[in-house]
């Protein structure tokens, strides 16, 4: 925004000059010791050495069409230097439907890869040693199903599940707030998540069981303060649910992870990441009594802001992504995905995806940012902004608590309403020209250069249906029915549903069949009229 005092995305005024007296002015409390990296409350980072010994994990989010097409892209990314894979699933898979179901028509393979069975998962990771790579899967309501398919394929490769490393997003609460790919009602979704926590403690001890996400709230219009407030409130709800299910906080908390956006407002984003670490450390220590240092650390993945990319003059997105990546690195992220410059138009081309990865590599290996830990520590501006973002976030978290916690606030529509109000205000400012978007409402060109986007072949849907028909013809249907019956009985009780679920998937039950078995017991979530 131009003219007058400039305000941060979170609402506070950005001063033209910051001085020592501005630091901790917001709280009115004596300045807390900034501390050392790797020390409580982890404002300066979760590890003592951060990137001075090794850079962050460079992930590239990819997946489209069939499992074989996505597999080819993964091999290209690994060859280009990607150190972690990040899987995008198509909408039917995210919603727990098979590719040949009527509701999936027209969406198969469009926004990610179609995965219907263990055969698809086997193809997706063909030639990729799962014991040696870290894999993140952006999957929520059916997260348990996709995690088990991954484990089954790894075991087929001869990999001990205890060696597997990676993350499932598995954050259903934010789906009710901002994204919409939920299946079951909140209480049953929380039960499924705590079952995953318990299963992974026993079987997949190195796996990050949840990536509590603010990214999608930010894409829906949340400010940085709203993003971390509502994300951490959801995290608190998950911790309470796990403890209520009988789990010890220090048994599961070290495997919790978070997922945030990184915008072009670099200073505020750095402050946001620092504030989030500090809030979470205090919550885990003071509210939940966690004692392990790893239980107190907020480890997070970052993705650059897709919502800030423009279809107009798409090359300018390269600049935006670079600034956003710098904000994430200055903020101390543990892994990073950089968006491709053409993603506002269509699925990224191979060249654009490679350039996005090269952006991270230049920052890591050609700049001096990895030579020192937390280079913004002691900055009057960043320290003051950290306090202001923290205060704004804590005020919002208190409002969530007043409503009975994250689930109760979701059912009331509180978080969604707050985000929608902000999104509306942002849209008005862009339309009025108060908020400058280069190439969109200022510095425009009369004629855009032609661009040939990557397109998904609609024949993929027919091919997936044929694969499913072969699968059902070849498998032992009696064994599948027996396993699914065991799953539904377990879902009616209190047992861990992942064990019978794995049996069904080994028998080659499909993703849709497993999710329908749970739907038959738990039902599906229908938003109230407040939404």
Task: DSSP for 290-357, please give it.
Answer: --SHHHH---EEEEE-GGG--SSSTTHHHHHHHHHHHHHHHTT-SEEEPPPTTTTTSBPPHHHHHHHH
- Point out the domain boundary residue: 375, 397, 432: 432
Residue 501, classed as helix, strand or coil, is helix
- With contact defined as beta carbons under 8 Å apart, do 147 and 237 qualify? no
pLDDT on residue 530 = 45
Q: What is the mean pLDDT of residues 111-115?
A: 92
Tokens read off for 110: 């469009």
pLDDT on residue 529 = 54
Q: Are both 507 and 420 inside the same structural domain?
A: no
Tokens read off for 507: 């028998």
Residue 186 falls inside a structural domain:
yes
| β-bridge pairing 300-304 and 335-337 | parallel
pLDDT on residue 451 = 74
pLDDT on residue 21 = 77
Residue 12, classed as helix, strand or coil, is coil
Angle at 312 between CA 310 and CA 317, to 5 degrees: 45
Residue 10 falls inside a structural domain:
no
- Point out the domain boundary residue: 397, 432, 467: 432
Residues above pLDDT 70, as percent of the chain: 96
Q: Are both 424 and 493 inside the same structural domain?
A: no
Could you give the CA distance from residue 222 to residue 354 in angstroms, rounded to a whole number? 29
The pLDDT mean for the chain works out to 92
Evaluate if residue 45 carries a pLDDT over 50.
Answer: yes
Which residues pair with residue 210 across a beta bridge? 256
Stretch among 57-61, 257-261, 325-329, 519-523 having the lowest mean pLDDT: 57-61
pLDDT band for position 531 (50/70/90)? very low
pLDDT on residue 1 = 44
pLDDT tens track for 204-255: 999 999 999 999 999 999 999 999 999 999 999 999 999 998 999 999 999 8
- Point out the domain boundary residue: 386, 416, 432: 432
Report in angstroms the alpha-carbon separations of 427 from 101, 155, 386, 420, 432.
37, 49, 26, 10, 9
Q: Are both 341 and 407 inside the same structural domain?
A: yes
Residue 444 falls inside a structural domain:
no
The domain that contains 224 carries what CATH number?
3.20.20.240
Stretch among 79-88, 227-236, 251-260 having the lowest mean pLDDT: 79-88
Tokens read off for 406: 């994250």
pLDDT on residue 26 = 59
Q: Are both 390 and 354 inside the same structural domain?
A: yes
pLDDT tens track for 462-488: 999 999 999 999 999 999 999 999 999
Counting the structural domains of the chain, the total is: 2
Determine if the peptide bond prior to 218 is cis (ω within 30°): no
Comparing CA positions, the residue from 360, 354, 264, 356 lying closest to residue 308 is 264
CB neighbour class for 298 (10 Å; exposed up to 12, middle 13-18, buried from 19): buried
Q: Are both 361 and 474 inside the same structural domain?
A: no
Q: Are both 385 and 489 inside the same structural domain?
A: no
Residue 31 falls inside a structural domain:
no
Tell me the pTM. 0.89
Residue 371 falls inside a structural domain:
yes
Residue 287 falls inside a structural domain:
yes
Could you give the CA distance from residue 8 to residue 122 in angstroms, rounded to a whole number? 47
234: number of Cβ within 10 Å: 29
492: number of Cβ within 10 Å: 11
pLDDT on residue 5 = 67
Structure-derived torsion over alpha carbons of residues 329, 335, 339, 340, reported in degrees to the nearest 10: 100
Tokens read off for 157: 């490769």
Containing H/E element for 232?
helix 224-244
What is the sign of the dihedral through the CA atoms of 141, 142, 146 and 147?
positive
Comparing CA positions, the residue from 141, 234, 251 lying closest to residue 185 is 141
Tokens read off for 401: 């608590």
Evaluate if residue 137 carries a pLDDT over 90.
Answer: yes
- Helix and strand counts by DSSP (H, E) for the chain: 20, 9
Residues above pLDDT 90, as percent of the chain: 80
Tokens read off for 215: 């990214």
Could you give the CA distance from residue 401 to residue 281 in angstroms, rounded to a whole number? 18
Which residues pair with residue 138 across a beta bridge? 88
Q: Are both 298 and 367 inside the same structural domain?
A: yes
Which residues pair with residue 360 across a beta bridge? none
Could you give the CA distance from residue 477 to residue 459 in angstroms, rounded to a whole number? 28
Could you give the CA distance from residue 150 to residue 26 in angstroms, rounded to a whole number? 47
Q: Are both 401 and 351 inside the same structural domain?
A: yes
pLDDT on residue 172 = 94
Report in angstroms the alpha-carbon separations of 173 from 168, 234, 424, 447, 523.
14, 7, 22, 43, 17
Residue 76 falls inside a structural domain:
yes
Residue 18 falls inside a structural domain:
no
Q: Are both 312 and 351 inside the same structural domain?
A: yes
- With contact defined as beta carbons under 8 Å apart, do 159 and 130 qualify? yes
**Gyration radius from the chain CA atoms:** 23
Comparing CA positions, the residue from 497, 514, 496 lying closest to residue 505 is 514
Domain span at residue 515 reads: 459-522
Could you give the CA distance from residue 483 to residue 463 in angstroms, rounded to a whole number? 27
Could you give the CA distance from residue 500 to residue 158 in angstroms, rounded to a whole number? 22
Q: Are both 275 and 319 inside the same structural domain?
A: yes
Q: Are both 313 and 272 inside the same structural domain?
A: yes
Q: Are both 331 and 374 inside the same structural domain?
A: yes
């Amino acid at each position: 925004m131009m003219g007058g005092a400039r305000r941060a995305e979170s609402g506070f005024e950005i001063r033209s000059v910051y001085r020592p007296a501005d630091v901790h002015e917001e709280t009115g409390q004596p300045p807390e010791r900034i501390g050392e990296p790797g020390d409580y409350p982890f404002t300066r980072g979760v590890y003592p050495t951060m990137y001075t010994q090794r850079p962050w994990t460079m992930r590239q989010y990819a997946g489209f069409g069939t499992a074989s097409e996505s597999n080819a892209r993964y091999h290209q990314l690994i060859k280009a230097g990607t150190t972690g894979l990040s899987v995008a699933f198509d909408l039917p898979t995210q919603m727990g439907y098979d590719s040949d179901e009527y509701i999936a028509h027209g969406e198969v393979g469009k926004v990610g890869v179609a995965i219907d069975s263990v055969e698809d998962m086997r193809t997706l990771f063909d030639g990729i040693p799962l014991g040696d790579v870290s894999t993140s899967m952006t999957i929520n309501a059916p997260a348990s199903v996709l995690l088990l398919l991954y484990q089954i394929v790894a075991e087929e490769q001869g990999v001990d599940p205890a060696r597997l490393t990676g993350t499932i997003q598995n954050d259903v609460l934010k789906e009710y707030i901002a994204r919409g790919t939920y299946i079951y009602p909140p209480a049953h979704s929380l039960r499924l998540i705590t079952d995953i926590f318990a299963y992974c403690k026993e079987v997949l001890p190195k796996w990050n069981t949840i990536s509590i996400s603010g990214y999608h709230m930010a894409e829906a219009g949340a400010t940085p303060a709203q993003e971390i407030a509502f994300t951490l409130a959801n995290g608190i709800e998950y911790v309470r649910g796990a403890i209520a299910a009988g789990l010890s906080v220090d048994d599961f908390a070290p495997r919790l992870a978070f997922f945030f956006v990184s915008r072009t407002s670099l200073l505020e984003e750095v402050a946001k990441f620092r504030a989030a670490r500090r809030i979470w450390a205090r919550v885990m220590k003071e509210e939940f009594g966690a004692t392990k240092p790893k239980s107190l650390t907020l480890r997070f993945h970052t993705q650059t802001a897709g919502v800030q990319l423009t279809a107009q003059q798409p090359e300018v997105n390269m600049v935006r992504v670079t600034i956003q990546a710098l904000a994430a690195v200055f903020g101390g992220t543990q892994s990073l995905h950089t968006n491709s410059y053409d993603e506002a138009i269509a699925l990224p081309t191979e060249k654009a995806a490679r350039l996005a990865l090269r952006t991270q590599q230049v920052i890591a290996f050609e700049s001096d940012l990895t030579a020192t830990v937390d280079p913004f520590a002691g900055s009057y501006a960043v320290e003051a902004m950290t306090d202001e973002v923290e205060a704004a976030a804590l005020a919002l978290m208190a409002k969530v608590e007043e409503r009975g916690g994250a689930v109760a606030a979701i059912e009331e529509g509180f978080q969604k309403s707050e985000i929608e109000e902000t999104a509306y205000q942002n849209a008005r400012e862009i339309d009025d020209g108060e908020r400058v978007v280069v190439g969109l409402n200022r510095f425009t060109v009369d004629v855009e250069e032609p661009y040939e986007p990557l397109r998904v072949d609609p024949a993929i849907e027919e091919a997936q249906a044929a694969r499913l028909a072969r699968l059902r013809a070849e498998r032992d249907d009696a064994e599948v029915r027996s396993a699914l019956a065991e799953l539904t009985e377990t879902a009616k009780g209190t047992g861990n549903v992942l064990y019978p679920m794995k049996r069904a998937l080994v028998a080659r039950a499909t993703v849709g069949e497993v999710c329908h078995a749970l739907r038959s017991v738990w039902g599906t979530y229908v938003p109230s009229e407040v939404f």
